[in-house]
Amino acid sequence: MLKAVIFDMDGVLVDSEPLHYEVNRITMQEELGKDLDYQYYKQYIGSTVMAMWNKIIKDFSMEGYTAKELFDLSEEVKERLVDEKGYPEVPGVVAFVKSISSKYKLAVASSSALVNIEKNVAKLGIAEDFDALVTGLSVKNPKPAPDIFLKAAEQLGVKPEECIVVEDSCNGTRAAKAAGMACIGFINQGSGEQDLSAADYLFEAFDNIDDGFMEMVYSHHFAEP
């Protein structure tokens, strides 16, 4: 029985991925004199920032820096850009969250820092609709490992097989599958060309789905009538 819906945040609740790429591109260019190509960068969508910077240090031979130092530099750039542009809501997601919040337990499971998750759900006016907020920085392994989704289920007090995940990234859909959960993949053009083949179903707009759709996907995944 479907009891909980777990949402990714970046690219699902807020259309933040284009801004995140710009933040990291500017950080690399202005602070380090390095070019960050989008085709290289997109492999990190859905993963944690610290995992990304640790890999970049190796790939770009930047052993003079720590991941924490690069993270701090990027946070300064992000603060500047967010003040200028802000994070736009993914169209239709607020109405969708509110339409299902009385029927299911809801969680956000995002690779972003907890303070950013809290700020975004508050700004969207849906903080009270969520029963748990989980950051990937609080688990050992980032997506595509299942850790964050398993922790979200634990905090919600449900079993993994009682959950469905809403994701927009390859790493996220793979993590949901590894957690033993049903998953729907949101095709967000701002998230780039993502391989969402691990998801059970794909959709392009929150206006086109409802609780009946969620029940259908869940039943299909677990071969229930």
Same domain, 171 and 198: yes
Same domain, 74 and 171: no
Instruction: Tell me the C-alpha distance between 10 and 169, whole Å.
Output: 9
Last residue of a domain, one of 67, 85, 103: 85
Same domain, 12 and 25: no
Same domain, 60 and 120: no
Confirm whether pTM is higher than 0.85: no
Instruction: Tell me how crowded residue 193 is: count the other CB atoms within 10 A of its CB.
Output: 10
105-110 and 132-135 strand pairing: parallel
Last residue of a domain, one of 43, 68, 85: 85
Same domain, 27 and 81: yes
Same domain, 92 and 203: yes
Determine whether 207 is an active site residue: no
Same domain, 75 and 94: no
pLDDT per residue as tens digits for the range 91-146:
999 999 999 999 999 999 998 889 889 988 998 999 999 999 999 999 999 999 99
Instruction: Tell me the C-alpha distance between 184 and 168, whole Å.
Output: 8
* pLDDT at residue 191, as a whole number: 83
* pLDDT at residue 53, as a whole number: 94
CATH of the domain at 109: 3.40.50.1000
For residues 155-173, give the mean pLDDT: 97
How many domains does the structure of the chain reveal? Answer: 2
Same domain, 119 and 57: no
Give phi and psi for 126, each to the nearest 5. Answer: -125, 15
Give the residue from 138, 155, 172, 206 showing the smallest Cα distance to 44: 172
Give yes or no for a contact between 77 and 27, defined as CB atoms under 8 angstroms apart: yes
Same domain, 110 and 47: no
Instruction: Tell me the C-alpha distance between 180 and 30, whole Å.
Output: 42
For the chain, how many residues are written?
225
pLDDT per residue as tens digits for the range 200-210:
999 999 999 99
Is the confidence at residue 159, as pLDDT, over 90?
yes
pLDDT per residue as tens digits for the range 27-84:
999 888 999 999 999 888 878 889 999 999 999 998 889 999 999 999 999 888 887 7
For residues 146-165, give the mean pLDDT: 98
* pLDDT at residue 16, as a whole number: 82
Could you say which of 8, 10, 147, 168 is catalytic? 8
Same domain, 119 and 98: yes
- For residue 27, give its domain range: 17-85
Instruction: Tell me the C-alpha distance between 198 and 83, whole Å.
Output: 36
pLDDT band, very low/low/confident/very high, at 199 (cuts 50, 70, 90): very high
Last residue of a domain, one of 43, 62, 85: 85
Same domain, 32 and 109: no
Same domain, 76 and 149: no
